[in-house]
């Protein structure tokens, strides 16, 4: 794609561009020397992608675990070899810094290698006892899996949406984001470079206005057996409802209003560091970002002072992904200020673009403010001060979201006991809310979705169970 000005689709191993330039979208965050357009899918191209995948499935599903493992280890090496190129494109497309690009690339290599190692031992069957004869429980791949990936961690979330399904013997279609089209194209092309057969992974993009049509074409096609989606709760509801009408299961990782609980016995310097890291890494645009801090009145003033001391040393105002994202952040902050909150930003932070937004700490956050309920998905964190730990627990148990959380306490037993009352997919003790690894399951409770990505839990999402009994 080096000389192309338009990012293509990949169908049946081939780059696809419309000769009529039909449905070509404009790249939102163009960079010098980069493509200005991307090829959007039409109804016919979406059907071609499904048909290609369906054709590839019978052969791919019969490959041995060792054959698949070999290809995945090769994929990991290809990603290592092209890491600098992919990280550079990622930084330019989503305005992230080198640290975030490094994290999501290294974790992606780990994810691929973890699945490669698990292929021969996970998603296998069993032989349970039955009264007469022999019983066998077999695990089989589903068919074609649709993976819908977001822009905010495009390398790891793009790969996560398709690696587990393919490792389990399925074939997949990666539907990438129009906000990170080149990064997602490069990831899909790695499978081709690593030697995966045509059709095992196809790649689609579409313009935002075409999303309803293209998703309907895909989810209602009989060859598509499951969909996984990472993105907002609002869109997740639409995905789930349409998939339900087609009787297709879905795996959803959705929004999160992630909180850090700071107990009276906490190391407040540690708490301040972990809160600011969790709130401002990748400009606060991570599903696990710290949105809210819950602290007792006994420690809140000292904690706030330490957080604001860190805030004052920040010298740049990061860019968020779009003008719409900036407008949402400005609305949330303005609403909180109008209702009595205090707004703190770094005096040294300089933003030179229309999408710059300063790291922001909101103190005096109350339930009357929109920021209390709405996920900011940007570099904004609110601090709630409560009288007792019991009141903190009450707030926790009323939460609609449940993706990630953290507790800062010197008393590990106390923290573990509190972790049991938190309805979230992850609770990190003495660490920030942003934490995921290739060996761990990842997913949420409530409005944060259902199902689990990651390790053996992720493989088990993409197989079905069959019982075979053998009688004399």
Active site residues: 253
Tokens 């494109």 locate to 89
Give burial (CB, 10 Å; 0-12/13-18/19+) of 5: exposed
- Strand (E) or helix (H) holding 185: helix 181-194
Dihedral angle sign, alpha carbons of residues 410, 412, 414, 419: positive
- Would you tell me how many other CB atoms lie within 10 Å of the CB of residue 62? 10
User: Is residue 371 within a helix (H) or strand (E), and if so which, with residue range?
Assistant: none
With contact defined as beta carbons under 8 Å apart, do 452 and 436 qualify? no
Residue 387: exposure state from Cβ atoms within 10 A (0-12, 13-18, ≥19): exposed
Backbone angles phi, psi at 339, to 5 degrees: -100, 15
Annotate 326-341 with b (16+ C-beta within 10 A) or e (fewer). bebbeebbebbeeeeb
- Dihedral of the CA atoms 82, 86, 87, 90 (nearest 10)? 180
CA atoms of 425 and 438, how far apart (whole Å) = 15
Neighbouring-strand partners of residue 286: none
Q: What is the Cα Rg of the chain in Å?
A: 23
Residue with tokens 């540690």: 270
DSSP code of 319?
B
């Amino acid at each position: 794609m080096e000389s192309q000005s338009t990012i293509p689709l990949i169908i049946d191993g081939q780059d696809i561009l419309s000769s009529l330039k039909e449905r070509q979208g404009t790249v939102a965050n163009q960079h010098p020397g980069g493509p200005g357009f991307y090829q959007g899918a039409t109804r016919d191209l979406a059907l071609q992608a499904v048909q290609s995948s369906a054709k590839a499935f019978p052969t791919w599903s019969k490959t041995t675990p060792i054959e698949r493992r070999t290809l995945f280890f090769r994929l990991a090496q290809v990603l290592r070899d092209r890491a600098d190129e992919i990280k550079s494109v990622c930084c330019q497309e989503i305005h992230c810094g080198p640290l975030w690009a490094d994290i999501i690339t290294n974790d992606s290599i780990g994810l691929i290698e973890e699945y490669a190692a698990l292929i021969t031992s996970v998603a296998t069957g069993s032989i349970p006892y039955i009264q007469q004869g022999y019983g066998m429980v077999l695990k089989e791949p589903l068919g074609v899996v649709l993976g819908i990936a977001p822009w905010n961690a495009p390398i790891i979330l793009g790969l996560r949406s398709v690696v587990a399904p393919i490792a389990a013997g399925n074939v997949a279609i990666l539907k990438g984001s129009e906000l990170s089209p080149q990064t997602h194209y490069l990831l899909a092309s790695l499978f081709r470079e690593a030697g995966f057969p045509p059709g095992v992974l196809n790649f689609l993009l579409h313009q935002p206005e075409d999303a309803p049509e293209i998703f309907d074409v895909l989810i209602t096609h009989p060859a598509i057996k499951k969909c996984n989606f990472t993105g907002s709760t609002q869109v997740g509801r639409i995905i789930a409802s349409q998939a339900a009408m087609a009787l297709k299961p879905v795996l959803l990782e959705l929004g999160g209003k992630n909180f850090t609980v700071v107990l009276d016995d906490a190391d407040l310097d540690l708490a301040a560091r972990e809160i600011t890291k969790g709130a401002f890494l990748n400009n606060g645009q991570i599903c696990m970002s710290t949105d809210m801090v819950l602290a007792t009145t006994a420690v809140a003033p000292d904690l706030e002072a330490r957080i604001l001391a860190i805030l004052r040393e920040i010298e740049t105002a990061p860019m968020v992904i779009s003008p719409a994202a900036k407008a949402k952040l400005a609305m949330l902050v303005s609403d909180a200020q109008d209702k009595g909150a205090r707004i703190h930003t770094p005096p040294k932070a300089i933003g030179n673009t229309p999408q710059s937004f300063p790291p922001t700490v909101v103190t005096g956050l109350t339930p009357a403010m929109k920021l209390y309920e709405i996920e900011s998905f940007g570099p904004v964190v609110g601090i709630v001060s409560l009288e007792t730990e019991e009141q903190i627990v009450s707030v926790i148990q009323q939460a609609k979201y449940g993706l990630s959380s953290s507790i800062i306490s010197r008393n590990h037993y106390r923290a573990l006991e509190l972790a049991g009352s938190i309805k979230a997919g992850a609770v990190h003790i003495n660490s920030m809310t942003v934490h995921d690894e290739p060996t761990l399951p990842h997913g949420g409770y409530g409005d944060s979705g259902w199902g689990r990505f990651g390790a053996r839990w992720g493989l088990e999402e993409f197989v079905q169970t069959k019982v075979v009994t053998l009688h004399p």
